[in-house]
C-alpha cells in the first residue's frame, strides 16, 4: 500500500519512501492506497479509512517554528498579523484552513469579523479579524493574485516574531530556484488528519463563519 499525496503545487518535496505525489485524483485507487488530499478535494472523494486531509500552512516549516515559540507561553497575549497572497483558491478552502491553523495557536475566538472587497474588484481581497479575548487578536489579509507569498508578524509581550516568504526565499539561495514555502512529504504524512466528524465539523464551522461575516 502506497502513500499518495495529491498536490498540484511545486512546493511539495518528496523525501519519504513509498510516497508519491500526483497532481490530481485521476490515477488514484482509494481502495488500495492511502490518499492524503487538501481540503478543497473533499467533495471529490467519499470519506473512508484510506482518505486523510492535510492543511498547507500546518506543514510549512516556518509555521511549526512559530508554534514552538508561542507554546513557551501558556496563553500568548498580543497581536498576530497574517498576510497571504495566492494565485487560486477553490471555495476559499485555503483561507478556511489558515483560519483553523491560527486558532490552533491562540484557541477558539470569541468573535470573528469579515470584510470583503466588491465582487467586481480585482484582485479579490478578504480581511478577517479574530478576537481571542484577554488582549489577543489576529488580523488576516487574504488576496488572490498571480503569486504565492505568506508573511506574518507577532507582537507579544516581550516577543516579536516576523516572517516573509519572499525575503526568506532570497536568503535560501540567490542562484537556485527555491522557496521558503516548501512542504516535505514526511511532514504532510505525519500531520495528516483522519476525515472524521470532528474535522468536518470544524471545517464547516469556520466556512459558515466566513460566509456569515460575524460571530460575537
Catalogue the long-range contacts made by 110-119 (C-beta closer than 8 Å, 24 or more residues apart): 110/216, 111/214, 111/215, 111/216, 112/209, 112/210, 112/214, 112/215, 112/216, 113/213, 113/214, 114/209, 114/210, 114/212, 114/213, 114/214
Cβ proximity of 43 and 59 under 8 Å: no
Q: Mean pLDDT over residues 22-29, rounded? A: 88
In CATH, what class is 57-181+196-215? alpha beta
CA–CA separation, 50 vs 40, rounded Å? 17
CA–CA separation, 151 vs 66, rounded Å? 12
CA–CA separation, 24 vs 30, rounded Å? 12
**The pTM of the whole model exceeds 0.75:** yes
CA–CA separation, 123 vs 106, rounded Å? 29
Q: Mean pLDDT over residues 135-159, rounded? A: 92
Residue scoring higher pLDDT (145 or 47):
145
Residue scoring higher pLDDT (89 or 192):
192
Question: In the prediction, which pLDDT does 48 show?
Answer: 64
The domain ranges of the chain are 3-54, 57-181+196-215
CA–CA separation, 107 vs 117, rounded Å? 27
Residue scoring higher pLDDT (174 or 20):
20
CA torsion 49-51-52-55 (nearest 10°) is -160
Question: SS3 of 37, please?
Answer: strand
Question: In the prediction, which pLDDT does 216 show?
Answer: 44
Question: In the prediction, which pLDDT does 53 show?
Answer: 95
Residue 140 in this model has a pLDDT that exceeds 50: yes
Question: In the prediction, which pLDDT does 174 show?
Answer: 45
Cβ proximity of 67 and 55 under 8 Å: no
Amino acid at each position: 500500500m502506497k502513500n499518495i499525496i495529491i498536490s498540484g503545487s511545486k512546493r511539495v518535496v518528496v523525501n519519504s519512501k513509498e510516497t508519491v505525489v500526483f497532481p490530481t485524483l485521476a490515477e488514484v485507487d482509494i481502495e488500495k492506497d492511502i490518499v492524503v488530499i487538501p481540503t478543497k478535494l473533499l467533495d471529490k472523494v467519499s470519506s473512508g479509512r484510506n482518505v486523510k486531509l492535510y492543511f498547507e500552512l500546518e506543514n510549512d516549516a516556518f509555521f511549526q517554528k512559530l508554534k514552538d515559540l508561542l507554546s513557551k507561553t501558556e496563553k500568548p497575549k498580543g497581536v498576530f498579523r497574517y498576510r497571504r497572497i495566492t494565485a487560486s483558491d477553490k471555495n476559499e478552502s485555503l483561507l478556511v484552513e489558515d483560519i483553523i491553523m491560527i486558532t490552533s495557536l491562540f484557541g477558539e475566538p470569541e468573535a470573528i469579523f469579515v470584510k470583503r472587497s466588491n465582487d467586481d474588484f480585482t484582485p479579490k481581497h478578504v480581511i478577517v479579524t479574530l478576537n481571542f479575548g484577554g488582549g489577543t487578536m489576529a488580523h488576516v489579509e487574504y488576496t488572490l493574485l498571480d503569486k504565492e507569498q505568506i508573511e506574518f508578524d507577532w507582537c507579544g509581550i516581550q516577543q516579536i516574531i516576523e516572517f516573509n516568504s519572499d525575503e526568506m526565499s532570497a536568503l535560501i539561495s540567490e542562484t537556485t530556484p527555491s522557496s521558503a514555502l516548501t512542504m516535505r512529504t514526511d511532514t504532510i504524512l505525519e500531520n495528516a488528519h483522519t476525515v472524521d466528524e470532528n474535522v468536518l465539523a470544524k471545517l464547516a464551522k469556520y466556512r459558515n463563519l466566513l460566509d456569515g461575516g460575524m460571530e460575537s
